[in-house]
Amino acid sequence: AGNRAATVPLFLAARACGLAWMPVDSGATAAEIAELEGRYGAAATVLQGERSATREALNADLVVGDRLAAATCYPAAAVMKLTSGSTDVPKATLTSEDQLVSDTTQLTAGMGLHPRDTQLAVIPLSHAYGLSVLLMPLLLQGTAIVLRETFAPDQLPLDAEQFAANSFPGVPLMFQHFLSKPPDRWPSSITRIQSAGAPLPLEVARRFRARFGVKVRSFYGTTESGGITYD
């Protein structure tokens, strides 16, 4: 479902029904989705609404077909988080609800995330990073998010100012972009910035802090374990 408001009730509905939920990147091709369906025995697939001409953009289409009889059950899993596939085909980890809650409790405490905070949600909610840092704090303690389907550099400062966002989880390429093409004015509301998903070059971190006056904090975790370290 991508970075859309519909992703939140979709996840909650899956939990209410005791279903394992496998979020897939919104850019996944039909062939990639079909391969995951077959490999993991999916009972149903939810696709973005624009793939159907009869649906509004924010709606989602539930595709069940005749797979229910062949569906595989994962009773202990709340989420089947997909690995990046950097060394092989993406694999799904079985993460229980207790593990999700424990990971989020540690992250919010370590990062100092509070219910009153507002986070810019430009990293994918379908990835382990976005799930742990954006979606779960929203559900567990009401930490608001400002959703964007993709990283829009010109829009991000405007979103931060309009919604008084103070937290920006990103990846190194985003910070490198702002250094090469600085906005006219960096939003003063943003006081927490973190980088994950790839190594953050020290020079980029130093230059960003010198240019914008905010430290980019490094966060490291794995799909299998959740959060590990945060500077």
Written as six digits, the tokens of 147 are 């959703």
**In the 8-state DSSP scheme, what is residue 21?**
B
pLDDT at 78: 96
pLDDT at 52: 46
**CB 137 within 8 Å of CB 143:** yes
What residues contact 12, with CB distance under 8 A and at least 6 apart?
139
**CA angle (175, 158, 172) in 5-degree steps:** 10
**CB 218 within 8 Å of CB 201:** no
Residue numbers in the chain where pLDDT is lower than 70: 49-69, 85-87
Model pTM? 0.89
The total of other beta-carbon atoms located within 10 Å of residue 43's CB is 16
What residues contact 46, with CB distance under 8 A and at least 6 apart?
1, 10, 60, 61, 62, 63
pLDDT at 88: 72
pLDDT at 54: 44
What are the C-alpha distances in Å from 96 to residues 78, 100, 150, 193, 194? Answer: 5, 6, 28, 28, 26
pLDDT at 51: 47
Cα–Cα distance for residue pair 75/99, rounded to 1 Å: 14
DSSP alpha helix (H) spans, the chain:
7-16, 30-40, 97-111, 128-130, 136-141, 156-163, 172-180, 202-212
Give the rounded distance of the alpha carbon of 137 from its chain centre.
Answer: 11
Q: Tell me: the pLDDT tens digits for 7-36?
A: 999 999 999 988 999 999 888 888 998 899
**CB 94 within 8 Å of CB 142:** no
